[in-house]
Amino acid sequence: MLKNPLSFFRRYALTAALALAAPLAALAAPAPSLRYTLAMPAPQTHYFEVRMDLGGFGSEYTDIKMPVWAPGSYLVREFARHVEGLQAQTPDGKALPVEKINKNTWRVRHSKQPDFQVSYRVYAYELSVRTSFIDADHGYLNGSSVFMYPADKKDLGSTVTVEPAAGWARVSTALRPVPGKAKFTFKSDSYDELADSPMEIGNHKVLQFTANGTPHEVAMYGTYTADEPKLLADMQKVCEESHKVVGKNPLDRPYVFIVHNVERGGGGLEHLYSTTLVVGRNAYQTPAGYSSYLGLVAHEYFHLWNVKRIRPVALGPFNYDEENYTRMLWVSEGMTEYMSNVIVERAGFQSQQEYLNDMASQMTSVENTPGNKVQPVSEASFDAWIRYYRPNENSPNSQISYYDKGQMVGLVLDLMILEASKGEKQLDDVFRLLYDKYYLQLKRGFTDQEFQDAVATVAGRRFDDFFKNSVYGTKTLDYATTLGYAGLAVSTSPLSADGSLGANIANRGGRLLVTGIERDGAAWAGGLNVNDEILQINGAAASEEALKQLAGRPAGTEVKLQVKRDGLPRELTLKMQPVRGVRYQIQPMPSPSAQQQKILAKWLSPKK
């Protein structure tokens, strides 16, 4: 029973009024909005100018952040160090207080004024696939090194209007244009998309082709000489062969290749709907250079599936403030490199034997790297942030590349799947399963264990010991057995019968300097150090010719060296050791079985 019915009805009416007022207030509050303007009025000074127009931010203050790294390149690069002159103001020009609260965050106090502007400049003078650059000729940017974002609104969509420098007429980007807006106005659904959509701005040449029913744009910056119809036809073949691996086209817009043709260069960086490639401008003129270019296209284009959609859980959504750790870069990068080489062979740009020769060279490189016995490829992945991009003279002794070793793991794992499934399944099917289950259905990345489970599902057999010993351990991969599944024989031969000092020595301005020491070699045991200057060899003045003569001496030969270390002379005696390591070769077996032939045919294209 109610003690005071009248009091109850008054409270009910008040509660009802408040309940009605809340949605009305929500309707009245403007939705947050974000517009960027990118200008470059003086490109020869290497500055981009950015203005952010923020609307509907009704809090006391808003934190504005600059990422510390670029997805796809696993190193904290501290992009905030290139930011200058950040300031904020109201729409009518009244200055707002700004305080930098940590290395990459600025706090703008706008006292619940929902609309305000933030402007700043970014110095951009590093032309690489992972940074930004502008000069009198062109501008190139990676979003994470130029565009800031509201800290608690990373999922907010935005528009960006590009104002090219005077005389520049083109902007190439995978961002979608906004109909009816100013020229060169694009939209993104989130900061992740904006950060993952590089731009090439200037008067570059634009080429086009269609692959898998989708237009592809090739933005060619710089001078180059190439047979363009052949180039486009070959890129189309690579893209279509890449598509066959997963069999599903994720593109809902044109794909963009940004190609920087420079004096010397190489490398690429994948993005959600595009990639950036750096190529030596003469690469198209030689068979080796052209083949390398097609391999680079295949690698970065296969990332359209592997990494950008098929990914470890750590690689998206991104935390731009710090390292995003994963032990699976050997899958993301190493197995992408493995698939890119298979794709080039399947597309007809290599014969089977040429492909096998390349794989044998890669085996030789990996297995003769001392760090391969020290660092598991999973650890190489995890430590990429502190080691891969910061190599020193001891790196070959202490670590292995997750690209190179990951490629070899991919080779062996592919053949193990083919053998276990009696030639019916292969690594392609693992990528299809991961794409369907984790990208399309669950809309997330996979864990380390889920990757192993996917391999087991496809193969019909678990390979837990293989992962434990050769991925999370340093056990040597069994190339002979696995290549034997495809009717291929592996042989090895010594790298050399001569003795070795176990040191890298280079001519630096007429001085012979030690640049590297091989683990457990003669120099390692005898106390020769990196940065030692070789003054004398066996009592005679040191020279490159004297070093060449040492190369033919047998193991056990004593070598007396006089070196200069820290400005002081020092005498050392080294005993040359046998050259360690072997060279791998892969050749077809003379009489492969029907099952071996089936596996080889499933794995690679028919023999040409």
Q: Cβ contacts of residue 374 below 8 Å, gap of 6+?
A: 397, 398, 399, 400, 474
CA dist 461 and 482 (Å) reads 15
Question: For the domain 204-302, what is the CATH code?
Answer: 1.10.390.10
CB 416 within 8 A of CB 410: no
Please list the alpha-helical segments (H only) found in 303-441: 329, 335-346, 352-367, 377-382, 395-398, 402-420, 427-434
Dump strand ranges (E) for 238-348. 255-262, 266-270, 274-280
CA dist 350 and 356 (Å) reads 10
Question: For the domain 305-489+587-608, what is the CATH code?
Answer: 1.10.390.10
228-276 pLDDT per residue, tens: 999 999 999 999 999 999 999 999 999 999 999 999 888 999 999 999 9
pLDDT average, residue stretch 562-581 = 95
514-560 pLDDT per residue, tens: 999 999 999 999 999 999 999 999 999 999 999 988 888 999 999 99
What one-character-per-residue DSSP string does 230-243 give? HHHHHHHHHHHHHH
Tell me what pLDDT residue 29 has.
67
> What is the DSSP-derived secondary structure letter of residue 144?
G
pLDDT above 90: percentage of residues in the chain:
91
Fold of 499-578: Pdz3 Domain (2.30.42)
CA dist 419 and 487 (Å) reads 11
CA dist 115 and 313 (Å) reads 36
Tell me what pLDDT residue 20 has.
47
CA dist 505 and 493 (Å) reads 25
Tell me what pLDDT residue 551 has.
83
CB 291 within 8 A of CB 300: no
Type and span of the H or E element at 16: helix 5-28
CA dist 396 and 408 (Å) reads 17
φ, ψ for residue 32, nearest 5 deg: -60, 145
Question: For the domain 33-200, what is the CATH code?
Answer: 2.60.40.3650
16-69 pLDDT per residue, tens: 444 444 454 445 568 999 999 999 999 999 999 999 999 999 999 999 999 999
How many CB atoms within 10 Å of residue 483? Answer: 24
pLDDT at 318 over 60: yes
111-164 pLDDT per residue, tens: 989 999 999 999 999 999 999 999 999 999 999 999 999 999 999 999 999 999
pLDDT at 608 over 60: no
φ, ψ for residue 264, nearest 5 deg: -140, 135
Pairing mode of beta strands 255-262, 214-221: parallel
How many CB atoms within 10 Å of residue 535? Answer: 15
CA dist 46 and 35 (Å) reads 23
Task: Give the start-to-end residue ranges of the domains of the chain.
Answer: 33-200, 204-302, 305-489+587-608, 499-578
pLDDT at 3 over 70: no
Q: Cβ contacts of residue 527 below 8 Å, gap of 6+?
A: 572
Common-topology check for domains 204-302 and 305-489+587-608 = yes
